[in-house]
A and B are shown apart, each in its own frame.
Chain A
Amino acid sequence: MESTQELGDEVLVTLCQQGQADCFEVLVRRYMGKAFHIAYNFTRNTETAKDLSQDAFLRAYSNIKRFDGRSSFYTWFYRIVVNLCLDHARRSGRVTWESLDKSAEEAGGQRQLVDTQYLPDQQAIAGEATRRANATLESMPNKQRTAFLLRNQEGLPIADIAKVMKTTEGTVRVYLHRAVAALRHSLVEFV
């Protein structure tokens, strides 16, 4: 017999809907990393990202019977995560990016936007570029930021982002282009 670990999302969801709550554990294991990463991208805070992504699992579990299978489970679930993150952003105001700078520094500068292997002044420029890019990302309209984070950070195809955001693929393309253009403009000074 096939292990529940190997079952597809749709089968697991159907089993959950039939009352096999333990199948939801498999979905939690499968999506906890993605859910946490999405929440972290929006909040830049480990504890908040953990709480929001866990809350998303609770909501998904509560509403699992309403999932009608018209979209894939993960686009449905990502939508829950994104909505919780946007609600949190609305409630709490600005995102704190200091933690990002800290994590970049902890990683030995490898994550800075420009390569700075040799010159200290180049490291300073790279640090400033990173901060500027992050500030631009923070100040973006929510829809642009969501499209950008889901494509750039999570690697979702535009078709799936459109489902998560309940909009058209054309609109997502526009959001994505505007987000990249905004990032480019924020970094023009460093040319």
Chain B
Amino acid sequence: MENRVAPLEGACKNYEEDLVLYYYGESGAAERAAMEQHMAQCGRCRNFVDDLGRVLPKMAPQPELPQPFWDSYFRETMAKLDAHQARQSWWRGWFAPLNGWLMPAFGTMAVAALAIALVLDKSDMVSFIDTPAPSIPAEVLVDSNQLEFFKSLEILESLGTLEELDASKPEPKTSDIHNGRTAPAVA
């Protein structure tokens, strides 16, 4: 083979795709004859096919692996297959009762149970929606319970009036306090 550095030359535009197929032996008999006829007259296309033959077989070379590699490869593959088979057997053991006609029956029952659950659940939701919600939320109720407190605030506002009333009232005697008697109620 000619020792050229130039790797690939272009072929005639109309022939290039067919020449690639020709190189790979993928042309029909008639196409092959036509290519050979063309190449007999066209050095460019002839060089193109020669270059394909020079370059493409050397693309992406494979590593040359020794026999022990393949022995180990085979053993590993079979070990993985055994492990895989063992896992499958375990699962099949579990689901064995569901094989045959039981599987569709089980599926139908599961779907029916799901449908019933959904219907019941929906009816529960309707009853929940129909139930009147408490008119006053708990937080608000707590606030309403504090109403007395706010009323007492109104008393504080009239504190001045109370002080005046206290001032006009005579001081209770100590003995009265000890006897459990308090001041008469303010009218």
Contacts and interface: CB of A to CB of B under 8 A. Distances in A.
A54 B6 contact: no
- A interface, size bucket: 35 or more
Interface string A24-43: 11001100110011001100
Interface string B21-62: 100101000000000000000000000000010111111111
Contact of A114 (B7, B17, B21, B88): B7
A133 B57 CA distance: 12
Interface of A is mostly: helix
A1 interface: no
Given A32-B70, A152-B56, A58 B1 contact: no
A21 B14 CA distance: 52
Contact of A191 (B7, B20, B70, B77): B7
A20 interface: no
B60 A153 contact: yes
Given A28-B78, A188-B8, A191-B7, A149 B60 contact: yes
Interface of A: 21, 24-25, 28-29, 32-33, 36-37, 40-41, 44, 46, 50, 54, 57-58, 61-62, 100, 103-104, 107, 111-115, 117, 122, 125-126, 129-130, 133-134, 137, 149, 151-153, 157-158, 173-174, 176-177, 180-181, 183-184, 187-188, 190-191
Interface of B: 1, 3-10, 16-17, 20-21, 24, 26, 52, 54-65, 70, 73-74, 76-78, 80-81, 84-85, 88
24 contacts: A28-B78, A32-B70, A37-B62, A40-B63, A46-B65, A57-B77, A57-B80, A61-B84, A61-B85, A62-B88, A113-B55, A115-B3, A117-B3, A129-B7, A133-B55, A149-B60, A152-B24, A158-B24, A158-B26, A176-B21, A180-B20, A181-B16, A183-B55, A187-B7
